[in-house]
Structure formats: C-alpha cells, structure tokens
Amino acid sequence: MVREATNTLQKSVLWDWLTTVDHKKLAVLYLISGTLFFLKAGLMAVFMRIQLMFPMNDFLSGQTFNEFITMHGTIMLFLAATPLLFAFMNYIVPLQIGARDVAFPFVNALGFWLFFFGGLLVSLSWFFGGAPDAGWTSYVPLASRDYGGLGIDFYVLGLQVSGIGTLVSGINFIVTIINMRAPGMTMMRMPLFCWTTLVTSILIVFAFTPLAAGLALLMLDRMFDGMFFIPGEGGNVVIWQHIFWIFGHPEVYILVLPAFGMISEIIPTFSKKRLFGYTAMVFATLIIGFLGFMVWMHHMFTVGIGPIANSVFAIATMIIGIPTGIKIFNWLFTMWGGKLTFNTAMLCASSFVPTFVLGGVTGVMLAMAPVDHLYHDTYFVVAHFHYIILGGIVLGLIGATFYWYPKMFGHKLNETLGKIMFWMFYVGFHLTFFVQHILGLIGMPRRVYTYLEDQGMDTMNMISTIGAFVMSAAIILLVINIVYSAMKSPREGGDPWDGRTLEWATPTPVPEYNFAQTPQVRSLDPLFYEKIHGDGTMKPAEPIGDIHMPNGSIYPFTISLGLFIAGFGFIMLNMENAIISPWIVIAVGGIITFGSMALHSVKEDHGYHISKETVEQMEKEVGTNG
C-alpha cells in the first residue's frame, strides 16, 4: 500500500482542505473558523452595547437580548477562543517539540470537523425559532423543557458534538507532547507554550467529560421526559450548576493557560533573554491546572451551600492567586535587564502583564465569599472576567498572531497598522470594562437588557458603549491589516524575529514533513543555544531518509457531518411540526457516522513515503528561496 507522493495538484483545492490531516493546514482551518465565530459574537456584543447605550432603550427586546448574551458567551468561549487557541497549539506545538506531526493526524482532523459542525449546529438555532436564551451557563429550570425554547436544544446538541471534538483534540495533544518530542527535548527543556498546552489538554480531558455528562442529562430531561433537573419531580436544579461549573471553571484555565504560554514565548524573544524562573513557571502552570478543579463553587457562593463550604472554596480560590502571581513576577523579571523591542506582538504581550493583574485582583476580591454576595451576578463580575478574557486571552491571541504569522503565512503583518490597532484596542478595552466594575457596585445586575433612568448608570453605560465602538474599530483594523499585509508585505525567511525555539529552525513555508531530519536538542531554547554555541542551525539527530506521512481522509468530515445530521434529528423531536420523522433524520446521520467509522476501520491505510530524493530536492529549493 505504500506509494509515492502523488502530485497534490491533481486533486481539487477544496478536496485537499476537506481531507487534510496535516496539523498546519488544520491550524489554518481552526484559525479561519475561529475568527469568523469571533467576529460574529463580537458583533453581537456591539449590538448589546448599543441597546445599553441609553436607559430604557428599545433597540433590542428582552428576549432578543437574552439570545444575544447567550450566543455571545457560548460562541466566544466554545467556538472562538478555543479554536483560535487550538490553531496555534496545532501549528506551533509539533514544531516546537521537533515532531513531524501530531500523534494521531486523523483524530486531529476529526477534532476540527466535530468542532466545526457542532458550532454550525448551535448557529442554526437562529433559523428555527430563536437562539438559546438562558445564558451561556444555561441554568435550569430556565433551560429546562418547561421554560426554555427550542434554542436550548441546539445549545445542548451543538455543544455536545463540538465538545467531543475538543475532547479528542485534547487527548491528541497529550499523546503528542508525551511521545513525539525530538531526541534531547526533555520535558524540562520544552518551551512553556508546550507545557501550557499539555496542562490545558489534561484539563480538557477532565473538564469536558463532566460537561458531556451534564449535557446528556439535560438532553434526557428536554427530549425524553427525564427529571434530573425538574424540582417538582424530585430533581435538583443545583446539581446542574455543580456539573456545569466543574467543567466551567477549568474551562477558564483551559483558555488562559495557552495564552500564558504564548506570552511566555513572546516576552523572551523580544527581550532577548531566556524566560526567568523557567522551573517555577512550569510548576506554577501545573498548580494552577490542579487547583482549577478545586474551586468551581466560587461561582455559586449565593446558592446557599452553607458557610463552611463557601469558606473552603473561598480560600482555595484565593490560593490560585499565588501561582498566578509567580507567573506575573517571572514575566516582569524576564523583561528586567533585557533589551526590549516593542513591536505589536511585544506590546500585546507586555501590556498583558498589568492588565491581567487588574483582572486578577478583582478575582481575589471576588473570592471573598461574603463580599461576593455583593459582586455576584453584577456588572462587577462582567468587568472581572472580561479583564481576564480580553485583557488576558485576547491580548495573548493578538500577540501570538503577530508573532507566529510569518511562520504560518510567510510574511509579517504591517507594524504601523498593528501598533495603531493595539492602542485603539487597549484604550477601547479599558474604556468599555473599567466603568463596569463601578456599575456593578452601584446596583446594576448582569444580563439585564435595560436599566431605568436616574439610577446614576447613564453616563457610565454610555462610556462603556463608546469603548466598545473603539474596540470594534481596532478589530476591523486588524482585518484590514491582514488583507493589506497579504498583498504588500515582503516574504520572510524561516527566522524573522531572531527566535529561540525550534519552530524558527524550520524553513518558511514549512514543508509538510516539518523537519527533513529530526533535530538533536541540546538545551532549553534549542535554536538560541545553537546560535551561541553552534553555527546557528540545528544538528540533525538522524540521517536523511524516506519520510513516512499519513494519507488524507474524508472520514473525519463525514463522521462529523453524520453527527451533525443526527444531532439535528434529535432537536427535531422537540419541533412542533417537523417535515419528516425525526427518527429518519437520526438514522441517516447515524448511518453516515457509523458507516464512515466502519469503513475507516476496515480500509487499510498505511500512509505514504516521501522519498529521500524528493526531500533533498525540496530542502534545496527552500534553501535557495529562504
């Protein structure tokens, strides 16, 4: 079955992207779909801010507003932040550990398509009677069959499908990082981005499983007359909150840890210094990951679990501040004594530090359980988690985009546009969210579609909305920058930033096999080590030879498509007049999914080899181009 590499041009471009199992192409798919979801949810946020611009505004009705808050939160966390982080994890981690691909390329593709079709299923709700409207947390009973509309079914099924995708991708990253490291790349020589990816992936495995279980229970409640969360029938609504937050709190760390990793890559590169306190950083990451599972109840301080439980979880939450503080100071001391270059990536990464501290201190304040009875479910909380998510995750993502863009697309993004974008975003962000702290304290609950006049909230809401406009303009500028740079920016070589880690040792564009010869790693920051102690190139750990590559496959796409169809079928069970029997739709979806799985299992596929001659030829071409 081993065959020579065929000319990929024989297949159509579309087919190539649908069947690809290459981690770099999947990363680009993640990046594009994540960006589209991000823009969609961002637009919803702008609409919500317009609604809240004036007291008793009637731009959106209460129902529509609730659908917007729900979709904004759900999309941003599950369908925008996660895939955008996955994009960089997919592209960069195999390169940073000196691997040719992830451990299971097929599973990698499956993860992407499941996420994509799950997201599509959630989005379909707009065309079938309205989006989910019970908040991204979908608290029962508001989300149970008596009070929640059809939108909740799309939420349940869509997140179930996309959650499986996230789960298998997490498993894939764990195996990749444990097993696929290049010779000499010990665990304690791994770049911090790989460490945070590893911890995040472990969190995904432990956090997305309870979510899947919780969503399954809610599905049984909604579609098959279950009673898990129906208080009148002996169910308990608080159980849902526990299950949700056992997932939901680690989810925050799932998102923020990779952002920490990105910052830990960008700051050393542009400070020209190695990361300060690498070991402490690694252990801080592990401790944050571990403690992340111990604190879910701080989202439920007002639920009435009792003073003892509240106190225990309050103190556990405060303790998370310590490893986070360790990280903050280590970043500061990485920059201390360095030679800092402030381009857009570094602006994002360095301003991340004080911004994240502001989000962190409000986090500690929120951890004080008795005082949280004031903050809980007010705009103070909204301000807090946007400081973490926008000031932390999104700044990290924008920084990472500017930093790794030349590796991914062969050219840099325009720096002038980038810096203008950064300052607009930064100012707009603080304008939007700082006043929201105060709004919460003067009595504005979160998730309100309007507020009355004369409560002293008018001016601050106006400021907040103006900030949101400025921030949107910044994001538009980023999109313009991407288009502009694609046309105008000069091609870059493999190492445009004077990088320190292995991904900069590959040529640009990165060949599909990444490394012609697996590199021998001799230190932390391996490329920097070779620049100081060697000739600036990685020493090979193996002779040049045939490279074994996996074949593309359409099955990840069809398996996911089948689940999408079946999921829609389940939702049809709750539709009042479905055109055809839902069971037929479920059966069709099931046949596609399980049929694809069966075919994939039966069909022998050993992949193919790129011959030694071809590799040598390609390397020579890269050498002349780069």
Partner 1 sequence: MNGLRRLFKFAPFMAVFLFLAGCGERRLTALDPMGPQSQWIYDNMILSLYVMAIVIIVVFVLFFIVVVRFRHKEGDNEYPEQVHGSTKLEVAWTVIPLFLLAILAVPTVTGQFYLSNTGLEAQEAENEEEVDEEELDAESAEELGDDVMKITATGHQFWWQFDYDFGDDSFTAGNEVYVPVDTKVAFVLEAEDVMHSFWVPALAGKVDNIPGIENYMWLEASEPGVYKGKCAELCGPSHALMDFRLIALEQDEFDEWATAMQEEEEAPTESLANEGREIFEEQSCLNCHAVDGDGGAMGPSLANFGDRETIANYLDVTDENLKAWIQDPQSLKQGNEMPAYPDLSDEELDALVAYLNQLEKLDPETKEGLERD
Judged by CB under 8 A, the chain residues 503 through 542 that form the site for partner 1 are 532
Does 62 sit near partner 1 (CB under 8 A)?
yes
- Cα dihedral across residues 177, 178, 183, 185: positive or negative: positive
Both tokens of 465, joined, read 């909305």
Among 43, 368, 462, 466, binds partner 1 (CB under 8 A): 368
Tell me how far apart the alpha carbons of residues 83 and 558 are, in angstroms, rounded to a whole number. Answer: 20
Site stretch for partner 1 (CB under 8 A), options 173-181, 362-370, 387-395, 426-434: 362-370
Of 201-209, 212-220, 243-251, 440-448: span binding partner 1 (CB under 8 A): 440-448
Q: CB-wise, 279 or 624, nearer to partner 1? A: 279
Q: Least distance from C-beta 57 to partner 1, angstroms?
A: 11
DSSP 3-state of 58: coil
Q: What is the Cα–Cα distance from 314 to 337, expressed in whole angstroms?
A: 37
Among 243, 353, 527, 615, which residue sits at the site for partner 1 (rule: CB under 8 A)? Answer: 353
**Cα gap 5→22, rounded to integer Å:** 14
Least CB distance from residue 500 to partner 1, whole Å?
10
For the residues of 68-80, what is the DSSP string, one character each?
A: HHHHHHHIIIIII
Confirm or reject binding of residue 306 to partner 1 (CB under 8 A). yes
Least Å distance between CB 1 and partner 1? 49
Among the listed residues 46, 49, 40, the one whose alpha carbon sits nearest the alpha carbon of residue 71: 40
Structure tokens at 437: 């702290």
Q: Rule CB under 8 A: is residue 237 a binding residue for partner 1?
A: yes
Radius of gyration of the chain (CA): 25
For residue 454, which amino acid is it? D
- The span of 21-29, 155-163, 236-244, 547-555 binding partner 1 (CB under 8 A) equals 236-244
| Cα–Cα distance, 223 to 606 (Å, whole number) | 42
End-to-end Cα distance, the chain: 35
**Separation CA 168–CA 179 (nearest Å):** 16
Stretch 119-178 residues interacting with partner 1 (CB under 8 A)? 133-135, 139, 141-142, 147
Task: Give the three-class secondary structure for 23.
Answer: helix
Q: Which of 328, 301, 505, 278 is nearest to 407 (CA)?
A: 505
Stretches 368-376, 387-395, 477-485, 551-559: which one binds partner 1 (CB under 8 A)?
A: 368-376
Which one, 249 or 500, has the nearer CB to partner 1? 500
Q: How far apart are CB 336 and partner 1 at their closest, in Å?
A: 6
Dist. CA 626–CA 511, nearest whole Å: 12
The residue type at 343: N
Establish if 551 lies at the interface with partner 1 (CB under 8 A): no
Nearer to partner 1, 117 or 429 (CB): 429
Residue 265 is a binding residue for partner 1 (CB under 8 A): no
Q: Which of 560, 330, 398 is nearest to 38 (CA)?
A: 398
Q: Token match 């599973």: residue?
A: 107
Helix (H) / strand (E) element for 609: namely strand 608-610
Q: Does 316 bind partner 1 (CB under 8 A)?
A: no
Residue 24 CA to its chain's centroid (Å): 16
Among 32, 129, 225, 336, binds partner 1 (CB under 8 A): 336
> In this chain, which stretch among 93-101, 192-200, 308-316, 408-416 interacts with partner 1, using CB under 8 A?
308-316
Is 461 a residue that touches partner 1 (CB under 8 A)? Answer: no
Find the shortest distance in angstroms from Cβ 183 to partner 1. Answer: 23
Query: Is residue 358 near partner 1 by the rule CB under 8 A?
Result: yes
Does 493 engage in binding with partner 1 (CB under 8 A)?
no
43 binds partner 1 (CB under 8 A): no
Query: Which residue in the set 361, 476, 486, 598 belongs to the binding site for partner 1 (CB under 8 A)?
Result: 361
Residue 562 CB, nearest approach to partner 1 (Å): 34
CB of 362: closest distance to partner 1 in angstroms?
A: 8
Find the part of the chain contacting partner 1 (CB under 8 A) among 98-106, 116-124, 350-358, 611-619: 350-358
What's the rounded Cα separation, in Å, for the pair 79 and 82? 6
- Select 361 or 580, whichever has its Cβ closest to partner 1: 361
Nearest CB to partner 1, comparing residues 18 and 134: 134
CB of 256 to partner 1, least distance (A): 17
* Chain position carrying tokens 């542009």: 270
Burial label, 227 (beta-carbon count in 10 A; 0-12, 13-18, 19+): middle
Three-state DSSP class for residue 411: strand
Q: Are 70 and 135 in contact (CB under 8 A)?
A: yes
When asked if residue 464 is in the footprint of partner 1 (CB under 8 A), the reply is no
- Residue of 369, 388, 478, 571 that binds partner 1 (CB under 8 A): 369
Site stretch for partner 1 (CB under 8 A), options 57-65, 119-127, 158-166, 288-296: 57-65
Question: Among residues 207 and 524, whose Cβ is nearest to partner 1?
Answer: 524
Residue of 241, 254, 261 lying closest to 194 (CA atoms) = 261
**At closest approach, how far in Å is the CB of 371 from partner 1?**
5
Closest CA to 37 of 87, 103, 89: 87
Q: Which is nearer to partner 1, 419 or 600 (CB)?
A: 419
Q: In this complex, which beta carbon is closest to partner 1, that of residue 134 or of residue 471? A: 134
The amino acid present at 30, given as its one-letter code, is: Y
The Cα–Cα gap between 174 and 203 comes to: 10
Instruction: State residue 244 phi and psi, 5-degree precision.
Output: -60, -45
CB of 193 to partner 1, least distance (A): 18
Member of 128, 290, 293, 329 binding partner 1 (CB under 8 A): 329
Q: 57, 183, 293, 445: which one contacts partner 1 (CB under 8 A)? A: 445
Of the CA atoms within 13 Å of residue 467, those in its CB half-sphere come to: 19
Residue 309 CA neighbour count, 13 Å, CB half: 12
Segment contacting partner 1 by CB under 8 A, of 156-164, 170-178, 321-329, 556-564: 321-329
Given 129, 231, 493, 545, the residue binding partner 1 (CB under 8 A): 231
**What's the closest the beta carbon of residue 205 comes to partner 1, in angstroms?**
28
Two structure tokens written together for 204 = 């995904």
Q: Is 16 in the site for partner 1 (CB under 8 A)?
A: no
C-alpha span between 245 and 460 (Å, rounded): 31
Q: Does residue number 350 form part of the binding site for partner 1 (CB under 8 A)?
A: yes
Q: List phi, psi (to 5°) of 575.
A: -80, 145
Quick one: which segment of 55-63, 255-263, 422-430, 596-604 binds partner 1 (CB under 8 A)? 55-63
Q: Least distance from C-beta 135 to partner 1, angstroms?
A: 5
Range in contact with partner 1 (rule: CB under 8 A) among 9-17, 167-175, 244-252, 330-338: 330-338
Distance of alpha carbon 229 from alpha carbon 487, whole angstroms = 55
